[in-house]
Structure 1
Amino acid sequence: MLQLEGLTRRFGANTAVDGVSLSVPAGQMVGVIGRSGAGKSTLLRMVNRLTEPSSGRVIHDGTEVTALRGQELRDWRTDCAMIFQQFNLVQRLDVLTNVLVGRLNHRRGFGATLGTLFKRFSAAERAMALSALARFDLAEQALQRADTLSGGQQQRVAIARALMQQPKLILADEPIASLDPRNAQVVMEALRDVNRRDGITVLCNLHHLETARHYCDRIVAMQKGRVMFDGTPAALTAARIRDIYGVSEDEFDTAPEMTAPALTPAREAALPA
């Protein structure tokens, strides 16, 4: 069980996430929707502590994640894999090595890290990585450089890398925002397969309502940092969208909400907590 209790993040005078409380049972696939600037990405980044909360708590299976430090925090980030919009692959490395990077935190000490740099992964780890790639129809691309792949292929490599962490939870931050409709469908089917077959909890930020309705068990709609809806896909009707956002479904999907300028990691680090 993942629990968020009054989770808040402020950037100076701007409140990006405002007192969010949610309980997510193990094995659920949750779509977090909202127009640009609603606080979706900040919310996910607080769950794995890439962004520190200004207040509130994250608890997973009785452990207070917001109190973790050092190796315990690194272990949590292994249990809580993250998939990014821009894939975050090492483009000059081959696909197989990118997937094997998911094993890094399962190694301890300088020798293990040095071995990883020289690609001295075990036979069992290589077999595990190849199996993950085959699962997503990418085995034939294992020895290609990551930058030779399409966007959809790169995102599936990122999912395979996440699986190598053997996580309990996957956070997917706009995983299909930069993909064409066909590749978006393939990536969402891969995430749903991981959720259903492996029983891994998935929290996925999405812009498009129909995608969230089709793939997710539950939808959380955010606006200006707050949860405005939390329920089943069937309950998020066109009328409910208009009540929350004041726009039609088509307008929701295409018209960005006016917000403060995007925060770069460097600018975020300079702001007060």
Structure 2
Amino acid sequence: MLEIQNLTRRFGARAAVDGVSLSVPDGQMVGIIGRSGAGKSTLLRMVNRLTEPSAGRILHDGTDVTALRGKALRDWRTRCAMIFQQFNLVQRLDVLTNVLVGRLNHRPGPWGTLTSLFLRFSPEERALALDALERFDLAEQALQRADTLSGGQQQRVAIARAMLQEPRLLLADEPIASLDPRNARVVMEALRDVNRRDGLTVLVNLHHLDTARRYCDRIIAMQAGRIVFDGAPAALDAGQVQAIYGVPEEALEAETPQAMPGSMPGPVPA
């Protein structure tokens, strides 16, 4: 269970996240929606401790995440993997090495630190990375430089890297914002696959409402740093959508990536 208690982040006089409280059970896929500046990215970055809260607590299975420091914090960031809109791959390295970077915090002792500096990996680690690439249909690109891939391929490499961390929780901050509709569908199906097959809790910030409805078990809507809706996708009605986005739902549809042939019309049953 992930528990967020009265979490707040202020930047000067402005509260980017303002007293947010919620609980997320293990294995749930949660879509976080809202207009730009609503606080979605700040919330996820606080869960991963890339941004420090101004107040409040984050608990995971009873551990106070907000109190972690040093190695304990590094271990949390391993268990709580995060992928970003801009992929955050090392563009000059090959795809396989980018995925293997997900193993670095699993190496014990001075020898692990030394081999990490030179990006030396064991045959077992390479096998894990190749399995992850095969899973996301990227095995043939294993030896290509990351900067030769399309945006959708790079985002799947980022997901494969995250899976090598062996996380319990996966955070995705606008993972499809810069992708075309086809690649957006492929990336969202990859996220849903790790949620369903591996039982990972997934929190994903999304710009497109229809995408959140299609893939997520639960939708949380934020406005001015606060939660204004929390429930099942079917419970989010047209009036609530207009209150969240400031425009009728019909005005959002033109911006929404359409489902590609063969895509699922809704979340896969648990």
Q: TM-score, structure 2 length as denominator?
A: 0.92
Superposed CA offset, 1:230-253 (max 9, x none): 000001122221234432124457
Does structure 2 retain, via aligned residues, the 8 Å contact 1:101–1:161?
yes
Deviation of 1:53 after TM superposition, in Å, equals: 0.2
Instruction: Determine helix, strand or coil for the equivalent of 1:87.
Output: coil
Cα distance between partner residues in 2 of 1:96 and 1:252: 38
Residue segments in structure 1 that go unaligned for 5+ positions in a row: 256-273
Distance in 1 (alpha carbons) for counterparts of 2:252 and 2:4: 26
Correspondence 1:222 to 2:213? no
Identify the residue that residue 91 of structure 2 maps to in structure 1: 91
Q: Which residue of 1 aligns with 2:100?
A: 100
How many residues are treated as equivalent by the alignment?
255
Superposed CA deviations along residues 193-220 of structure 1, whole A, max 9, x for unmatched, are: 0000000000000010000000000000
The letter of the residue matching 1:107 is: R
Partner in structure 2 of residue 261 of structure 1 = none
2:193 alignment partner in structure 1: 193
Q: Please say if 1:141 is aligned against 2:141.
A: yes
Distance 2:250 2:112 in 1: 51
Please state whether the residue corresponding to 1:9 is helix, strand or coil. Answer: strand
Paired AA for residue 185 in structure 1? R
Partner of 1:116: 116
Q: Secondary structure at the match of 1:53?
A: coil
Amino acid at match of 2:189: E
Contact 2:28/2:195, CA 8 A, preserved across alignment: yes
Asked if the contact 1:155/1:187 (under 8 Å) is kept, the reply is: yes
Q: CA deviation at 1:109?
A: 3.6
Matched residue, 1:74: 74
> Match for residue 44 of structure 1?
44
- Secondary structure at the aligned position of 2:210 is classed as helix
1:29/1:203 contact within 8 Å kept: yes
SS in 2 for 1:247: coil
Q: Is the 8 A contact 1:35 1:252 kept in 2?
A: no
Correspondence for 2:168: 168
Q: What's 1:155 paired with?
A: 155
The reply on whether 1:5 has 2:5 as its aligned counterpart is yes
Residue identity over aligned pairs, in percent, reads: 78
Quote the residue 2:262 is aligned against.
none
Letter in 2 for 1:114: L
* Runs of 4+ residues deviating >4 angstroms: 252-255
Change (3 A) 1:98 1:202: same
Q: Distance in 2 between matches of 1:166 and 1:29?
A: 17
Which amino acid counterpart does residue 42 of structure 1 have in structure 2? T
SS across alignment from 1:45: helix
Q: Distance in 1 between matches of 2:169 and 2:251?
A: 32
Deviates more, 1:213-222 or 1:231-240: 231-240
CA–CA separation in structure 2 for the residues paired with 1:95 and 1:237: 42
Q: Retained in 2: the 8 A contact 1:57–1:65? A: yes
Aligned to 2:236: 236
Give the deviation of 1:24 after TM superposition: 0.1
Structure 2 residue ranges without an equivalent (≥5): 256-270
Deviation per CA, 1:169-206: give whole Å up to 9, x if none: 00000000000000000000000000000000000000
